[in-house]
Amino acid sequence: MLFYLTTLNLARFLTEEYSSLKEGEHNAESVSAVETWNHSDFLCRNYVLNGLADALYNVFCEKKTAKELWESLDRKYKTEDAGAKKFLVGRFLDFKMQDSNPVISQVQELHLILHGIHAEGMTLSESFQVAAIIEKLSPTWKDFKNCLKHKRKEMNVEEIIVRLRIEEDNRTLKGVYLLLMLPKQMLLNMATNIMRKGSHGHPEKTLNWE
């Protein structure tokens, strides 16, 4: 909108004070200058209003000058921007990874929050983002978290995601292996128990067919 108003030579009316005739200043030149100002201010104000959604138009159409309208809109959106920043920071501080969801999907969600914070003008170094991802890992990742913290070489976000993906895949494979081995181990335990009972001299039971 500002660029468009600049091309129309109307941007100055967003910031300059309203011009009016001074006492005793009623010559044709002064009157013409004020009328020209009022007309340009009217155009600028209505260009801004026409760019608003209907709901906002109904709220801001009562503003009398382009400057008053622009300042009201500026205050509104600065307040909303501040609220958005606080909301994103709150989401980041409250974010905790859970074992019930894949760690990579949670890392991607956290990365989106960090990206949103950066987009709001709050600069975050890549080292901070990597440290935040590591710190947000769930307690079951404690050993791997400590291992990452003691790495001397700094990693970027892409590298930490790759490391976490590999670790998660390894944990998944280990879980599948243990699951497949479980029935075999149970059979071995049963066989061991039977052998132990036999070695204790328990008499074998015989069936009486009479």
Specify if 94 maps to a domain: yes
- C-alpha 140/C-alpha 161 separation (Å) is 17
Q: Which pLDDT tens digit goes with each residue over 54-74? A: 878 888 888 888 888 888 888
Share of the chain above pLDDT 70, in %: 80
Q: Is the pLDDT of residue 109 over 70?
A: yes
> Given 43, 71, 99, which residue is the final one in a domain?
71
101 and 181 in a single domain? The answer is yes
168 and 86 in a single domain? The answer is yes
Q: Is the pLDDT of residue 30 over 60?
A: yes
Q: Is the pLDDT of residue 178 over 70?
A: no
- pLDDT interval class at 201 (50, 70, 90): low
Query: Which own/partner pairs from 140-147 qualify as long-range (CB within 8 Å, at least 24 positions apart)?
Result: 140/99, 141/97, 141/103, 141/167
63 and 86 in a single domain? The answer is no
Q: Is the pLDDT of residue 116 over 70?
A: yes
pTM, 2 dp: 0.48
What is the number of structural domains in the chain?
A: 2
- C-alpha 11/C-alpha 9 separation (Å) is 6
161 and 132 in a single domain? The answer is yes
Specify if 207 maps to a domain: no
92 and 57 in a single domain? The answer is no
Tokens of 15: 């910031």
Mean pLDDT score across all residues of the chain:
80
Q: Is the pLDDT of residue 95 over 50?
A: yes
Specify if 124 maps to a domain: yes
> Given 71, 92, 107, which residue is the final one in a domain?
71
Specify if 190 maps to a domain: no
> Given 38, 71, 104, which residue is the final one in a domain?
71
What does the pLDDT read at residue 207?
A: 41
- C-alpha 119/C-alpha 133 separation (Å) is 18
179 and 96 in a single domain? The answer is yes
Range in 85-99, 109-123, 194-208 the model is least confident about: 194-208
Nearest CA-CA partner of 1 in 65, 60, 64, 49? 49
- C-alpha 104/C-alpha 97 separation (Å) is 10
61 and 136 in a single domain? The answer is no
Specify if 191 maps to a domain: no
117 and 174 in a single domain? The answer is yes
Specify if 192 maps to a domain: no
What does the pLDDT read at residue 187?
A: 55
Nearest CA-CA partner of 108 in 164, 167, 170, 171? 164
Specify if 33 maps to a domain: yes
Q: Is the pLDDT of residue 174 over 70?
A: yes
Q: For residue 179, which amino acid is it?
A: L
124 and 179 in a single domain? The answer is yes
User: DSSP E strands: which ranges in the chain?
Assistant: none
Share of the chain above pLDDT 90, in %: 8
23 and 93 in a single domain? The answer is no
- C-alpha 98/C-alpha 105 separation (Å) is 11
Q: Which domain holds residue 121?
A: 82-185
91 and 177 in a single domain? The answer is yes
- CA distances in angstroms from 132 to 87, 116, 146, listed in the order given: 17, 15, 13
92 and 153 in a single domain? The answer is yes
